[in-house]
Chains A and B, each alone.
Chain A
Amino acid sequence: MSARRAMLISVDGVSGTAVAAAARVALAGVARSHRGGVSTWDASGLFQDLIVAEEEAGIPSARTLLLLYAADLAFRLRWEIRPALEAGRVVVAAPYVDSATLLRLLGLRPVAVDDERWSEALAGAVVARSREQVARAVDVALRD
């Protein structure tokens, strides 16, 4: 397989700082001309906009937040992830699979992703505990 193939790398974790750092490491292992960028949470600005809501508007439940998360993910897929993949580049989604798992619990699936790529993304998950493991996993995937 060509080393120039499109690739979606998902980075997930409970620490936002660690996720961001791992995303940078993952992309650092990719040739500059092949990089499609890092897609991060709230690219749509939905959650940023929630911050300015009046207190009387009420606190959103987990289910409401999950629908907003799904809307944000649909935005990221449309404007960041799919265009990078269609251009044959490597894109890092941080976070991604965690949200997918949560969405699965609700029986949801972002319809912008086809089933084959969705399955690939889930099946290709690598649990990494260090920067070296992240870099090695990306390196191996690019050489496959």
Chain B
Amino acid sequence: MCDDVLPKDPVTKPSTPIHRRTQRQRVRERFADPSRRPGLLVAFEGPDGSGKTTQRKLFKTWLKSEGYDVVTTKWNSSALIKPLIKSRKSIRALSAEEFSLLHAADFRHRVEQHILPALWNGKLVIADRFLFTGLARDVARGLDLDWVLKLYQPLLWPDLVFYFSVSPVTSGRRVGAVRTPNYYEAGQDVTNVNDPVESYHRFITRVISEYESLALIFNFITIDAEQSIGDQHHHIRALFRDGERRPWSQWNMDAITEWLAQREGRP
């Protein structure tokens, strides 16, 4: 990760109101400056088997051909936290709360180590799953949405969220064609159904229901993932062209300011 353009402020002292104001001003200048290409965060969301990884790869190839500096981040991929989760999943040791908390920790670590530094340096970040995956799955496991949302604060909102919509039947058919869903993927920790395929169908039905609610609440761009791969890709290109021209919003100010303060040793 290129850190050399991350500015240091050798004059201002730690944790003063003036310093916090200065940081917020720097964030504003960084992301709202019309003379430079801003960092952009694009999230691909949807249930397993919705084809979002295929679309993410096609989208990345196209963006690079258009001259964008692209970084990809995937769900549950932090080098620090992923091994902790993997070892506990393998022995089926996680409760719904622990599952939720550990995935939130993984997400936070990636936000601070990869996503925000890339955005600060003007890169385009494609997230193959974002915090909405945690929300949909955790709520499908029976946790309270407000409780789960707090784990992800301060919230970092993508500039665009593409939601790949498929039916539970399609999701189950596509996943079943290549593998048997594993214990947590099938939601067997909460369905108490022994057959992973049957459990998956029940669990993914709940997950998709939560996704549909989140799509309305958070204004996702819904892609009909039952369409052909080519049609979806061209649709995404057109939607991206419209979306990237949106002005930078203040929504992410708290998350970026906190990260900046940490990076400079000023909590």
Q: Which of B145-153, B163-171, B179-187, B189-197 forms contacts with chain A?
A: B145-153
Given contact pairs A71-B98, A71-B105, A74-B101, A50 touches B78 in the complex (Cβ within 8 A): no
Q: Which of A8-16, A22-30, A54-62, A115-123 forms contacts with chain B?
A: A54-62
Bound-state CA distance A58–B95 (Å) is 26
Give B97-152 interface residues, CB cut-off 8 Å to A: 97-98, 101-102, 104-105, 108-109, 112-113, 143-144, 147, 150-151
The one of A49, A57, A71 that contacts B101, using a Cβ cutoff of 8 Å: A71
Whether B109 lies near A108 (C-beta < 8 A) is no
The one of A44, A57, A61, A67 that contacts B104, using a Cβ cutoff of 8 Å: A67
Inside 8 A of A58's CB, which chain B residues have their CB? 79-80, 109, 112-113
B239 within 8 A of A: no
Whether A71 lies near B102 (C-beta < 8 A) is yes
Bound-state CA distance A44–B140 (Å) is 25
Would you give the shortest CB distance from B78 to chain A, in whole angstroms? 7
Inside 8 A of B144's CB, which chain A residues have their CB? 111
A136 within 8 A of B: no
Inside 8 A of A75's CB, which chain B residues have their CB? 95, 98
The one of A53, A74, A106 that contacts B150, using a Cβ cutoff of 8 Å: A106
Bound-state CA distance A58–B97 (Å) is 25
Inside 8 A of A68's CB, which chain B residues have their CB? 81, 101-102, 105
B252 within 8 A of A: no
A97 within 8 A of B: no
Would you give the shortest CB distance from B52 to chain A, in whole angstroms? 26
Whether A74 lies near B87 (C-beta < 8 A) is no
Would you give the shortest CB distance from B87 to chain A, in whole angstroms? 7
- A-binding residues in B (CB < 8 A): 78-81, 83-84, 87, 95, 97-98, 101-102, 104-105, 108-109, 112-113, 143-144, 147, 150-151, 153, 258, 262, 267
Given contact pairs A49-B87, A71-B105, A106-B153, A112 touches B80 in the complex (Cβ within 8 A): no
Whether A50 lies near B97 (C-beta < 8 A) is no
Q: Residue-by-residue, is A89-113 near B (CB-CB < 8 Å gives 1, otherwise 0)?
A: 0000000000000000011111110
Bound-state CA distance A109–B147 (Å) is 8
17 pairs across A/B with beta carbons < 8 Å? A49-B87, A53-B79, A57-B79, A58-B79, A60-B80, A60-B105, A61-B108, A62-B267, A64-B80, A64-B81, A64-B108, A68-B81, A74-B95, A106-B150, A106-B153, A107-B153, A108-B150
Closest to B147 in A: A111
Inside 8 A of A64's CB, which chain B residues have their CB? 80-81, 105, 108-109, 112
Contacts A63-B112, A71-B97, A109-B147 known; list 18 others, CB within 8 Å.
Answer: A57-B79, A57-B80, A58-B80, A58-B113, A60-B80, A62-B262, A62-B267, A63-B258, A64-B81, A64-B105, A67-B104, A67-B151, A70-B101, A71-B105, A74-B97, A75-B95, A75-B98, A78-B95
Given contact pairs A58-B79, A75-B98, A112-B97, A107 touches B109 in the complex (Cβ within 8 A): no
Bound-state CA distance A125–B79 (Å) is 39
Would you give the shortest CB distance from B116 to chain A, in whole angstroms? 11
Would you give the shortest CB distance from A103 to chain B, in whole angstroms? 10
Bound-state CA distance A129–B147 (Å) is 36
Query: Which of B80, B102, B143, B151: most chain A CB closer than 10 A?
Result: B80
Would you give the shortest CB distance from B150 to chain A, in whole angstroms? 5
Inside 8 A of A110's CB, which chain B residues have their CB? 97
A21 within 8 A of B: no
Whether B153 lies near A56 (C-beta < 8 A) is no
The one of B80, B97, B104 that contacts A53, using a Cβ cutoff of 8 Å: B80
